Amino acid sequence: MIRLLAAAFAVVLSAAPVLIMPVPAVAVIALVGLLLATVGVAALWRWPVTAAACVFLADYAASLWVAAGPMNVAGAAGFGLALLFMLESVDLARRVRRAAVEGAVIGSHLGRWSGFGAATLLAAALAVALASALATPMPSAIAPLLAAGGALGVMTTIAVIFTRVASSRRSAGR
């Protein structure tokens, strides 16, 4: 059942770029990603599924770039969540391989994933609404400074997270 979920996410991820830009090159790249995902899901290997996620993401980005359509934050967040859930479902299938798993365990994981997905989409919608409200009265000369400040904030947050993880691993190893 978990493998079917991973396969369903892979199909959605391969179809999204083709729906955005229906040209043969995008379809071929989507099929390569689908082939990698199929191998990974069937054998429960992480590397083909990770490679498929990279192919799907590159294909999605290329199709958006070529189509040059309007920005769709909800679609991008949904695509990112589908990538995450495909990787998570393959990882879950690997961890419970050859084990008797009750439906409550799967239901718990699906509930947690659904909650995370809803929270992510809500956060994206709120961020877009806040950015729209702030962008209207701002002079365009301030935009690069705000972008640099945001990038600096994200990089600082990532550095703090890595530092805390590394220090907790060092203290756990003692």
DSSP string, 77-144: HHHHHHHHHHHHHHHHHHHTTTS---HHHHHHHHHHHHHHHHHHHHHHHHHHHHHHHHHTTS-GGGHH
Of 146, 88, 144, nearest in space to 112 by CA: 88
Distances (CA, A) of 76 to 11, 66, 98: 16, 16, 35
Q: What is the mean pLDDT of each run of 10 residues along the chain (174 residues)?
A: 91 96 95 97 95 96 89 86 92 85 80 85 84 78 82 87 83 69
Question: What pLDDT score does 128 carry?
Answer: 80
- Give pLDDT, residue 173: 64
CA atoms of 43 and 110, how far apart (whole Å): 22
Please state whether the predicted TM-score (pTM) of the whole model is above 0.85. Answer: no
Contacts of 120 (CB under 8 A, 6+ apart): 77, 80, 81
CB 138 within 8 A of CB 147: no
Q: What integer pLDDT is reported at residue 140 of this predicted model?
A: 78
Give the pLDDT score at 174.
Answer: 61
Mapped onto helix, strand or coil, the DSSP state of residue 63 is helix
Return left, alpha or beta for 79; rule: phi > 0 is left, psi -120 to 50 is alpha, else beta.
Answer: alpha
